[in-house]
Structure 1
Amino acid sequence: MSDTIQRFTFAKLPIRGEIISLEHSFTTIVEQHEYAAAPRQLLGQALAATALMAEIIKIEGKVALQVQSPSTLKLLLTECTHQGFIRGLSRLDEEQSTDALDFAKWTQNGQMAITIEPNQGKRYQGVVPLENTTLASCLEDYFQRSEQLPTYIQLFASDSKVFGLFLQALPGNSQDTTSLEDKVGAFEHVKTLAETLSAEEALATSHQDLLYRLFHQDEVTIYPEKPIEFQCGCSRARNEQALATIQPEELVQMVQESGGQLELVCDFCSNKEIFTEQDIMTFLSNTAPSTSIN
Structure 2
Amino acid sequence: MSDTIQRFTFAKLPIRGEVITLEQSYQTIVEQHQYPKAERQLLGQALAANALMAEIIKIKGKIALQLQSPSTVKLLLTECDHQGHIRGLMHTNESNDGSELNFPNWTQNGQMAITIEPEEGQRYQGVVPLENQNLAECLEDYFARSEQLPTSIQLYVNDNKVTGLFLQALPANSQQDISPEDKAGAFEHVKTLAETLEANEALNLSHQEILYRLFHQDEVTLYPEKSIEFQCSCSRQRNERALSTIEPSELVNMVKESGGQLELICDFCSSKEVFSEDDIMTLLSSNAPSDSVN
Which interval holds the TM-score relative to the shorter structure? Answer: over 0.9
The separation in 2 between residues aligned to 1:161 and 1:97, in whole angstroms, is 20
The separation in 2 between residues aligned to 1:2 and 1:261, in whole angstroms, is 39
The separation in 2 between residues aligned to 1:208 and 1:241, in whole angstroms, is 46
| Residue of structure 2 in register with 1:209 after alignment | 209
The separation in 2 between residues aligned to 1:27 and 1:97, in whole angstroms, is 18
Secondary structure in structure 1 of the residue aligned to 2:262 = strand
Secondary structure in structure 2 of the residue aligned to 1:76 = strand
Deviates more, 1:166-175 or 1:277-286: 166-175
| Residue of structure 2 in register with 1:58 after alignment | 58
Secondary structure in structure 2 of the residue aligned to 1:35 = coil
| Residue of structure 2 in register with 1:172 after alignment | 172
Could you list the runs of 5+ residues in structure 1 that have no partner in the other structure?
none
| Residue of structure 1 in register with 2:40 after alignment | 40
| Residue of structure 2 in register with 1:158 after alignment | 158
The separation in 1 between residues aligned to 2:134 and 2:276, in whole angstroms, is 46
1:179-218 matched pairs, under 5 angstroms: 179-218=179-218
| Residue of structure 2 in register with 1:241 after alignment | 241
| Residue of structure 1 in register with 2:24 after alignment | 24
Shift of 1:94: 2.3
The separation in 2 between residues aligned to 1:221 and 1:175, in whole angstroms, is 18
Q: Give TM-score, length-normalised by structure 2.
A: 0.98
1:139 paired with 2:139, answer yes
Shift of 1:287: 1.1
| Residue of structure 2 in register with 1:290 after alignment | 290
The separation in 1 between residues aligned to 2:17 and 2:35, in whole angstroms, is 31
The separation in 2 between residues aligned to 1:95 and 1:3, in whole angstroms, is 30
The separation in 1 between residues aligned to 2:160 and 2:175, in whole angstroms, is 45
Native 8 Å contact 1:151 1:169 kept in 2: yes
The separation in 2 between residues aligned to 1:94 and 1:197, in whole angstroms, is 33
| Residue of structure 2 in register with 1:280 after alignment | 280
Which letter maps to 2:8? F
The separation in 1 between residues aligned to 2:215 and 2:95, in whole angstroms, is 44
Q: How big is the alpha-carbon RMSD for the aligned residues of Structure 1 and Structure 2? A: 1.1
| Residue of structure 2 in register with 1:227 after alignment | 227
Native 8 Å contact 1:116 1:123 kept in 2: yes
Shift of 1:150: 0.3
Shift of 1:98: 6.2
The separation in 1 between residues aligned to 2:249 and 2:283, in whole angstroms, is 13
| Residue of structure 2 in register with 1:264 after alignment | 264
Secondary structure in structure 2 of the residue aligned to 1:232 = coil
The separation in 2 between residues aligned to 1:119 and 1:95, in whole angstroms, is 37
Shift of 1:97: 7.2
Which letter maps to 1:52? L
Secondary structure in structure 2 of the residue aligned to 1:233 = coil
Native 8 Å contact 1:72 1:97 kept in 2: no
4+ long deviations beyond 6 Å: none
The separation in 2 between residues aligned to 1:151 and 1:248, in whole angstroms, is 50
Q: Give TM-score, length-normalised by structure 1.
A: 0.98
Native 8 Å contact 1:97 1:106 kept in 2: no
Q: 1:174 and 1:256, CA in 2 relative to 1: closer, same or farther beyond 3 A?
A: closer
Native 8 Å contact 1:64 1:80 kept in 2: yes
User: How many aligned positions are there?
Assistant: 294
Q: 1:174 and 1:190, CA in 2 relative to 1: closer, same or farther beyond 3 A?
A: closer
Shift of 1:175: 6.2
